[in-house]
Amino acid sequence: MGFGRGKVILLGEHAVVHGCPAIAVGIERGVTATAAAAERDLLRLSPWDLALRADPKGDEPLERAFAVALAMYPSRPPLEVSAQVDLPAGAGLGCSAAIGVAVLDAIDEALGIERSRTDLATAALAWEEIFHGNPSGIDNTMSAIGGVGFYRKGDALRPLRSNKPLHLVIGYSGESSSTKQMVASVGRQLKSDRKRVNKAFEGIEVLVRNAKLAIEAGDHIALGQLLDLNHTILSSLMLCTTKLDDMCQAARHAGALGAKMTGAGGGGCMFALAPKRDEALRLQDVLGEDSFVAEVSA
């Protein structure tokens, strides 16, 4: 069975698109998929009840992405791929990347192809480009590899190690967002006010490098403070909604060590860092029924 993890960017989103480092984690909630020989190529997605053909010129991005994926296997029978998606779409958790990784992983298994998870991540970038135009590569990399990673566009993922797991509570705002549009928005800001946006990117890079040290030292109090600062910079780039801000504030008031939006912004998800698991479960109650707990070992 193929599997692609969801991901949470701890720090560094948007700046990572422009060459700065970021830190992300892979979570165990994601997408599972199976593939089998069939009469025609077909991609089925649950729980959305979608059945899509592969079409490189299709109106739906999933049709085009599926065509790109199948083109990687020149000698094969027609395939029907069924994927079960357990992530909200357009929410900053890497749903499209998780689908792509799971689909390719399932096809590999059906055709008896063996490749490393690193190579799987590389292959899935072509899928991501259909959805996001200029992706950083962090989503497909974390989806395939998991753990906690320090990532810079074009470089290999650098796993981070710590003796303390991260207890995250991920909350969904209910507002969908387009990564492609939000990345383009920051690109326009960079073009019109390069000094201001580059200063924001430089600030984010400093936070990312300090967060790396905090994770490796197991200093989650410092990490929480860095998360809050990163959220403030992302807000200054007009990426955070009122709902996301309110959710972050509610989590902090309820005892979170830190909280921030994650992903492209303009909607989607936020997350809070809890000191331990029972506190994470309490924060889940604060953030509502669309939230869930993720424990990540570095």
- For 224, the token pair is 């929480």
Domains located in the chain, CATH noted: 2-158 (3.30.230.10), 161-296 (3.30.70.890)
Q: How far is Cα 6 from Cα 86, in angstroms, rounded to an integer?
A: 9
Residue 228 appears among annotated catalytic residues: no
Between strands 22-37 and 2-11, the pairing is: antiparallel
Q: What percent of the chain has pLDDT over 70?
A: 100
DSSP code of residue 144: H
Tens of pLDDT, residue by residue over 17-74, are: 899 999 999 999 999 999 999 999 999 999 999 999 999 999 999 999 999 999 999 9
Instruction: Tell which residue, 193, 25, 1, has the closest CA to residue 83.
Output: 1
pTM, to two decimals:
0.88
Q: How far is Cα 252 from Cα 256, in angstroms, rounded to an integer?
A: 5
Tens of pLDDT, residue by residue over 212-224, are: 999 999 999 999 9
- Catalytic member of 49, 105, 139, 278: 139
